[in-house]
Amino acid sequence: MRRRKLLFFSLILATLAIGVVIGTVINRSVNADKPGIAPGATAIAIPSPTQLSSEFTRIAKMVEPAVVNINTETIIKSQSRDRRQSPFGSPQEDPFDFFERFFGGPMDGPRRDMKTRALGSGFVVDKAGYIITNFHVVEKADTINVSLASGDEYKAKVIGKDQGTDIAVLKVEAKRDLPVAKLGNSDGMTQGDWVLAIGSPFGLEQTVTAGIISATGRSGSRFQRFLQTDAAINQGNSGGPLVNMAGEVIGVNTAILTSTGQNAGVGFALPSSTAANVYNQLIKTGKVTRGAIGIQMQTDATAATLRALGAPDGKGVVVSKITPDDGPAARAGLKQGDVIREINGRKLNDSLELSSVVAELTPGKSVTLKFLRDGREQTATLTIDDRAKILPKDDTDPVEESAPERGGTKLGMTVQGLTPQQARDFDMQPGEGVLVTNVQVGGVADDAGLRARDVILQINKMPVRNAEELRDIVAKLKPESEVLFLIKRLDRQTGDIGTLYLAATLP
Q: Which CATH architecture has domain 64-172?
A: Beta Barrel (2.40)
Residue 245 reports pLDDT greater than 70: yes
- pLDDT given for residue 403 in this prediction: 37
Task: Kindly indicate the confidence band of residue 97, based on its pLDDT and cuts at 50, 70 and 90.
Answer: very low
Residue 80 reports pLDDT greater than 50: no
- DSSP, residue by residue, 378-391: EEEEEE-EEHHHH-
Q: Which residues contact 13 (CB under 8 A, 6 or more apart)?
A: none
- pLDDT given for residue 57 in this prediction: 93
Q: By percentage, how much of the chain surpasses pLDDT 90? A: 43
- pLDDT given for residue 98 in this prediction: 43
Q: Which CATH architecture has domain 399-505?
A: Roll (2.30)
Nearest to 455 by CA among 436, 480, 432: 436
CATH number of 186-285: 2.40.10.10
Query: Catalytic residue numbers?
Result: 136, 166, 238
For residue range 456-481, what is the model confidence (pLDDT) as tens digits? 998 988 899 888 888 888 888 888 88
Lowest-pLDDT choice from 42-46, 282-286, 321-325, 477-481: 42-46
Spatial separation of the C-alpha atoms in residues 377 and 465, rounded to whole Å: 38
- pLDDT given for residue 1 in this prediction: 62
Nearest to 299 by CA among 466, 437, 420, 432: 420
CATH number of 291-390: 2.30.42.10
Question: Do 186-285 and 291-390 come out as alike in CATH topology?
Answer: no
Residues listed for the chain: 507
Give Cα separations from 323 to 295, 326, 367 (angstroms).
5, 8, 18
For residue range 37-48, what is the model confidence (pLDDT) as tens digits? 577 787 777 666
- pLDDT given for residue 9 in this prediction: 66
Task: Kindly indicate the confidence band of residue 356, based on its pLDDT and cuts at 50, 70 and 90.
Answer: confident
Domain extents for the chain? Answer: 64-172, 186-285, 291-390, 399-505
Task: Kindly indicate the confidence band of residue 182, based on its pLDDT and cuts at 50, 70 and 90.
Answer: very high
Nearest to 412 by CA among 331, 506, 325, 498: 506
On average, the pLDDT of the chain sits at 82
Q: Looking at per-residue confidence, does 178 or 441 come out higher?
A: 178
**Residue 203 region, left (φ>0) first, then alpha (ψ -120 to 50), else beta?**
left
Give Cα separations from 47 to 212, 244, 398, 413, 470 (angstroms).
18, 20, 51, 57, 64
Spatial separation of the C-alpha atoms in residues 284 and 420, rounded to whole Å: 36
